[in-house]
Amino acid sequence: MALTPDPRPGGPTAARYALLPLRLFLGVTFLYAGLDKYLNAGPFSAFSREHSLALLEFSRESTPVPWLVDLAADHPALVGHGAAITEILVGLCVLTGLLTRAAAVLGALLTFLMWLTVSWSTSPYYFGADLPYLFGFITLALTGSGPYALDAHLAHREHRRGSLIFG
C-alpha cells in the first residue's frame, strides 16, 4: 500500500500546532480578565458595582433566565469573586495546558452563562463577544490541549512510568 502525501497545507506539522493560538488567546485573555478584576478594582470599585448592577437590571428584561440575573444581583460580591477566580483558574490551566479539557468546560460554562444573562439581547447575535469564547472553549474541550501542554507531558511521563513497571 503506497503512502499518499498529506493534502493539508503545511501537512501534519501545521495541524499539530493548530490549537496553540486558540489556547494562548483564551488563556491570556481569561487570566488577564480575572486578574484585572483585582488589580484595577474592576467590579469591586463603587463605580463598577453600580455599573454592573445597572447592566444586570437592563439585561433582566431580555434574558431567557431572569431568575439567574436576580440571583447575581442579590449576591454581587460572590458572583464577582467567583467570576474572577474562575477566569484566573481557567486562564492558567488553558495557558499551561494543565487539565485543559476540564478548564475548557468550565470556561464554556462561564461564557454560556454570560451569554444567557448579559449579551443575550445583543443584536445581531454576532456582535456579542461571548459566543466566540464559548465555541473556542468547546473546541478545546473536544480536542484537548495539543502541543506544549502539561497534560501531554504528564501523560507521556505516566506512560513511560507504566511501561517501566509492566515492560
Residue 118, amino acid: V
Between the alpha carbon of residue 62 and those of residues 65, 127, 134, 148, the distances in Å are 9, 16, 20, 42
CB atoms inside a 10 Å sphere around CB 47: 8
Nearest CA-CA partner of 104 in 25, 10, 11: 25
Task: Render 57-72 in DSSP notation, one character per residue.
Answer: HHHHTT-S-HHHHHHH
- Whole-angstrom CA distances from 160 to 16, 97, 98 are 22, 20, 19
pLDDT at 166: 47
Taking only the tens place, the pLDDT of each residue in 67-97 is 888 888 888 888 888 999 999 999 999 999 9
d(CA 77, CA 45): 11
Q: Please report the pLDDT score of residue 50 as a whole number.
A: 60
Q: How many CB atoms lie within 10 A of CB 29?
A: 18
- pLDDT at site 123: 81
| Residue stretches of the chain with pLDDT short of 70 | 1-12, 41-55, 58, 159-167
| Dihedral angle, C-alpha 84, 87, 93, 95, nearest 10 ° | -120
Chain Cα centroid distance, residue 84: 12
